[in-house]
């Protein structure tokens, strides 16, 4: 059984590889990489590293030769670029006879208003149209996306949001990575869709958890979208990223990331990492960075 992971040098991909190597023999693991230098440490572990570029279909076909299962970790860039790159991967997988595509999608993409949702809608549909058996891992929001929020709190500020009481199923990357590794290393996942989410929580819940962790009162400041964007820009966030962040807050407010599902703990074989555990880890990382032993 040959398993290939795309994007294996990225923040999620690295964790997928670590989790996968705990479950299968290194000889069964293959990665594709555009920059082989970035994959040098993986090659040193005995992993088969194949050069492939999302923009070069021929290189993808060469990389996917003999692959049974393929994990397509969504790429980076604008919507048009990402959709084109994902399509290239799917076409190559189809030509090479890949037996299963596992795709890292997003929560409820068919109805989601998240600014990244269209990429996932189109990619899921393309995979369905290819006829290749699939597994969609619909990941909720990375708790690591809130590192800036925690940093602001540690500097004495509030939890800033315009999402009102909208809830998010925050989970750290490691849980999503282990879920992907569980699917890649076992059978019976063909044509299944997993909504992967932690227990939904609001920014007010986050403030309460940080209050308990820090031993001091942490407030939540709910503002309108314009104020939220202005504060981000005033704190150095580039305009385009501030606008993107506002769109995320709007989607949270609409309930796009409010998912009640037990799919993640079932795949993990354990409870998902809680918001309190995740926030504690982030706080400890900041404290260690500022006061190393």
In the DSSP assignment, the letter for residue 78 is -
Q: Is residue 24 part of a domain?
A: yes
Instruction: Give the chain's domain count.
Output: 2
- pLDDT at site 103: 98
Q: Is residue 178 part of a domain?
A: no
CA 130 – CA 117 distance, rounded (Å): 20
Strand order in the sheet with 100-106: 48-51, 29-33, 3-5, 69-72, 100-106, 134-139, 192-196
Residue 239's domain is classified under what CATH number?
3.90.25.10
* Collapsed DSSP state (helix, strand, coil) of residue 39: helix
Last residue of a domain, one of 139, 154, 184: 139
Nearest CA among 74, 203, 92, 72 for reference residue 135: 72
Residue 115's domain is classified under what CATH number?
3.40.50.720
Backbone phi, then psi, for 65, in 5-degree steps?
-60, 125
- pLDDT at site 140: 98
Q: Is residue 180 part of a domain?
A: no
Please give the model's pTM, rounded to 2 decimal places.
0.94
- Which stretches of the chain are DSSP H helices? 11-21, 40-44, 57-64, 79-95, 117-130, 147-154, 173-184, 203-214, 225-234, 239-254, 263-268, 275-290
Q: Is residue 107 part of a domain?
A: yes
Same-domain status, 103 and 228: no
CA 12 – CA 44 distance, rounded (Å): 19
Kindly report, residue by residue over 97-113, the tens digit of the pLDDT: 999 999 999 999 999 99
Residue matched to tokens 């849980």: 175
CA 74 – CA 251 distance, rounded (Å): 20
Same-domain status, 17 and 132: yes
Q: 59 has which bridge partners?
A: none
Spans in the chain with pLDDT lower than 70: 288-293
Same-domain status, 209 and 280: yes
Residue matched to tokens 């809130």: 146
- pLDDT at site 293: 42
Kindly report, residue by residue over 209-237, the tens digit of the pLDDT: 999 999 999 999 999 999 999 999 998 99
Last residue of a domain, one of 139, 162, 188: 139
Same-domain status, 150 and 91: no
Backbone phi, then psi, for 236, in 5-degree steps?
100, 5
Same-domain status, 132 and 7: yes
CA 203 – CA 284 distance, rounded (Å): 20
Same-domain status, 147 and 125: no
Same-domain status, 106 and 151: no
Kindly report, residue by residue over 204-216, the tens digit of the pLDDT: 999 999 999 999 9
Same-domain status, 210 and 221: yes
Q: Is residue 226 part of a domain?
A: yes
What is the domain range of residue 237?
142-170+198-258+270-293
What separation in angstroms does the CA of 201 have from each of 17, 42, 225, 271?
A: 29, 36, 20, 16
Same-domain status, 156 and 109: no
Same-domain status, 150 and 87: no
CA 61 – CA 89 distance, rounded (Å): 8
Q: Is residue 176 part of a domain?
A: no
The CA dihedral of 94, 53, 1, 192, to the nearest 10 degrees, is: -60
For residue 25, the number of C-alpha atoms closer than 13 Å in the C-beta half-sphere is 4
Q: Is residue 42 part of a domain?
A: yes
Q: Dihedral of CA 91/191/82/30: which sign?
A: negative
Last residue of a domain, one of 92, 121, 139: 139
Same-domain status, 279 and 239: yes
β-pair type (48-51, 100-106)? unpaired
Q: Which two tokens stand for residue 200?
A: 């939904």
Q: Is residue 189 part of a domain?
A: no
Same-domain status, 135 and 217: no
Backbone phi, then psi, for 255, in 5-degree steps?
95, 15
CA 271 – CA 262 distance, rounded (Å): 9
């Amino acid at each position: 059984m040959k398993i290939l992971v795309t994007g294996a040098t990225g923040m999620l991909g690295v964790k997928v590889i670590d989790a996968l190597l705990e479950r299968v023999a290194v000889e069964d693991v293959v990665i594709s990489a555009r920059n082989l230098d970035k994959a040098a440490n993986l090659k040193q572990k005995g992993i088969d590293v194949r050069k492939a570029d999302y923009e070069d279909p021929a290189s993808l076909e060469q990389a996917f030769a003999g692959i049974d299962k393929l994990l397509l970790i969504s790429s980076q860039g604008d919507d048009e670029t990402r959709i084109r790159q994902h399509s290239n991967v799917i076409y190559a997988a189809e030509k090479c006879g890949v037996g299963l595509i596992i795709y890292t999608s997003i929560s409820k993409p068919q109805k989601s208003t998240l600014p990244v949702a269209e990429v996932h809608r189109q990619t899921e549909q393309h995979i369905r149209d290819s006829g290749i058996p699939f597994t969609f891992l619909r990941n909720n929001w990375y708790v690591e996306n809130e590192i800036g929020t925690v940093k602001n709190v540690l500097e004495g500020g509030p939890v800033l949001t315009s999402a009102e009481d909208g809830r998010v199923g925050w989970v750290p990357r490691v849980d999503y990575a282990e879920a992907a590794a569980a699917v890649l290393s076992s059978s019976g996942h063909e044509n299944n869709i997993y909504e992967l989410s932690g227990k939904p929580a609001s920014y007010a819940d986050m403030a309460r958890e940080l209050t308990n962790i820090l031993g001091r009162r942490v407030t939540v400041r709910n503002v309108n979208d314009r104020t939220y964007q202005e504060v981000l820009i005033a704190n150095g966030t580039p305009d385009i990223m501030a606008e993107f962040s506002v769109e995320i807050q709007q989607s949270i407010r609409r309930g796009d990331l409010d998912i009640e599902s037990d799919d993640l703990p079932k795949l993990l074989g354990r409870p998902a990492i809680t918001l309190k555990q995740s926030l504690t880890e982030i706080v400890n990382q900041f404290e260690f960075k500022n006061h190393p032993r």
